[in-house]
Amino acid sequence: MIEITREYERALEKINKRQQLDNVKVISDVTDIMNNVRKNGDVALKEYTLKFDKIKIEKFEISKKQIKEAYEQIDNEFLQIIRQSIKNVKDYHKRQLIKSWDYKKGDGITLGQKITPLENVGIYVPGGNAPLVSSVIMNAIPAKVAKVKNIIMCTPPPIDSGRIVAAIECGVDKIYQVGGAQAIFALAFGTDTIKKVDKITGPGNIYVTNAKKMVYGYCDIDMIAGPSEIMILADSNANAKFIAADLLSQAEHDTKAAAILATTSKDIANKVQEQIVEQSKYLKRSDIINKSISDFGVIYINEDIDVLLNLVNSIAPEHLEILTQNSEYCINRVNNAGAIFIGEYSPEPLGDYFAGPNHTLPTGGTSRFYSPLGAYDFLKRTSIIKYDKSNLEKVYKDIALFANKEQLDGHANAIKIRFGDKVDE
């Protein structure tokens, strides 16, 4: 880690450029995958599964037999924890639901909004060396709470029992063992096996992320997500061991994860650096951690908490931990963060797995305009407009004038014809 003084802006710029989505080679490769999947469907998916996952797939959909085997294989204690996590996430997301509404604007006018769940949703769950069972829950449950009719999951093979069981427990309708950018294109455009969906959610690598960008407009997506990040705001009373552990918990995600400490205390900064060295020795993913900390670990020291809070809002972190005595003061001044964890017994992994709020969060400074994934992301809004004749008659000349000012006389005609007026009047 480095202590940042005058060079902090340069260091933060490096953090924000961790995932360059405009990589020409990646875009070219992803475009080729898209064209192949759109043209050849399942055949292309099988080719890419063999090429990238080194597995020959004959049937993408997980069978009832495989589901039964997954339940036989999963540890019962883990199964009970998955069920409790699902309950917590469901309880939280139920509170996000919005209802249809309307109101009367005098006699003869009704205005309103109709809320309808999406019909078909695809969730993408990464695999690799860290199969994210928790991502199944965080993507499927909000859709289920919103009453989405069909939930399809794509995830790279081989699929562990945890991902399969979690999907069934969440009410996922179909599970397909296909990953990468090709899975995103299959969900967006459909194949003989995989039905196209209205929205795709879930994290992935740079290829998955670029694929999601490319399909936006053919279907909806949740957000453009990059490498994970954590920022901790701490004063001199914070526990250096806890801070280091929480920074490491994000650094282990991948080599481009960012761990940032902003503190009013140089003593805390020094102790945290010592703890990072000590604790990382015993962690299985220490190689990833060391690379991540070396490249994207930053400590910023300033005695003025307001300076640090301005830094928080500038970085707009995915995860923000507030470990200060004046936490309420800090919370009220934070405008940009994906999720805020308050106090030393609210560590970031609590949100990843168990508390209830969603862990699919905006990264790379996008919490300035993105929000966490929620039940509301699986609901669409439709406007309702109802006028009777007398109320339209009161305003029809104004509307016709407005339309004519925009040189759209067809619009004007659609209004005036109802009252016997000619277009050129």
Point out the residues that are catalytic.
318-319
Torsion of CA 400, 406, 408, 413, to 10 degrees: 0
Side-chain-side CA neighbours of 125 within 13 Å: the count stands at 29
Q: How far apart are CA 23 and CA 386, in angstroms?
A: 50
Q: What are phi and psi of 354, to 5 degrees?
A: -140, -30
- Closest alpha carbon to 36 in 170, 182, 237: 182
Residues in a beta bridge with 300: 4, 262
Q: How far apart are CA 345 and CA 352, in angstroms?
A: 14
- Closest alpha carbon to 313 in 338, 288, 294: 338
Name the amino acid, one letter, at 196: K
Q: How far apart are CA 146 and CA 139, in angstroms?
A: 12
232, 251 in Cβ contact below 8 A? no
Note the residue count of the chain.
425
Give, in order, the Cα–Cα distances in Å from 143 to each of 136, 171, 310.
Answer: 11, 10, 35
270, 1 in Cβ contact below 8 A? no
Longest dimension (CA), the chain: 85
Q: What sign for the dihedral angle of Cα 132, 134, 135, 140?
A: positive
CB count within 10 Å of CB 357 equals 20
